[in-house]
Structure 1
């Protein structure tokens, strides 16, 4: 390690994190996020849309010729009441994933998950997943304290 860079070893820890999600059709994605999720971009540039949510978080959709594999959660929202959020989004036409594999099962689209991310101080999470118009797998979760 270069001695001149020792003070910069935490350079990424000082930065903020923002999710980037691919969209094969940015207009279709914009409609989905507006009509189904109630979100409008706060900034727009050729090939990209920027969204802001609570807590100073943000994510962007960008035009991509690649398709999302949709095999893992690519972005998630922490919410206070996952059942209320699932109900509201279903009323808007969002379809939630149903999963039934050994050790993991959803009921009514919501899973009870033991354990949680260490920094959240919870004993588990109630969560649900859906796909956006571009095949990105998105989640909503409520910590169980």
Structure 2
């Protein structure tokens, strides 16, 4: 039933000013609107996320959200140039020169935002073969 509707991510922030600066200056996002003490950022395909204030930011040990991308390695290089620091997880799979892990039909990389939230870039390699 819910598969017919868009889904949006919530991104928690302990310090809204710091988090907004990270997403705008380092990740390159543009705020669509400010609402209810938070900020909405829009993405491709009509999707969006809501960056909101909470003392619980950075407490999850799993990814908060991921971007479905076409060139993980190229984006790693561009984001590193803007100051984004990528995580180096000990995981099975082949590691690219840029640091992405290829396994299970996908190439992936992870970084933490200014609040300690884990974010991911995922490239579906099976889609490229279709």
Same fold (TM > 0.5): yes
TM-score, length basis structure 1: 0.79
Q: How many residues align?
A: 125
Q: Which runs of 4+ in 1 moved over 6 A?
A: none
Report the aligned-residue RMSD.
1.6
CA distance in 2, matches of 1:110, 1:45: 35
**Secondary structure of residue in 2 paired with 1:33:** helix
2:118 matched residue in structure 1: 137
Q: Following superposition of structure 1 onto structure 2, how do residues 86-125 of structure 1 map, counting pairs within 5 Å?
A: 86-101=76-91, 103=92, 106-107=95-96, 108-114=98-104, 124-125=105-106
TM-score, length basis structure 2: 0.88
CA 1:14–1:78 in 2, change beyond 3 Å: closer, same or farther? closer
Match of 2:25 among 22, 25, 35: 35
1:5 matched residue in structure 2: none
Does residue 1:63 correspond to 2:53, yes or no?
yes
Displacement of 1:98 in angstroms is: 0.3
Runs of 5+ in structure 2 lacking a partner? none
Match of 2:12 among 15, 22, 28: 22
Q: Which has the larger radius of gyration?
A: 1
Checking the alignment, whether the CA contact within 8 Å between 1:109 and 1:129 is kept in structure 2 is: no
Displacement of 1:46 in angstroms is: 4.1
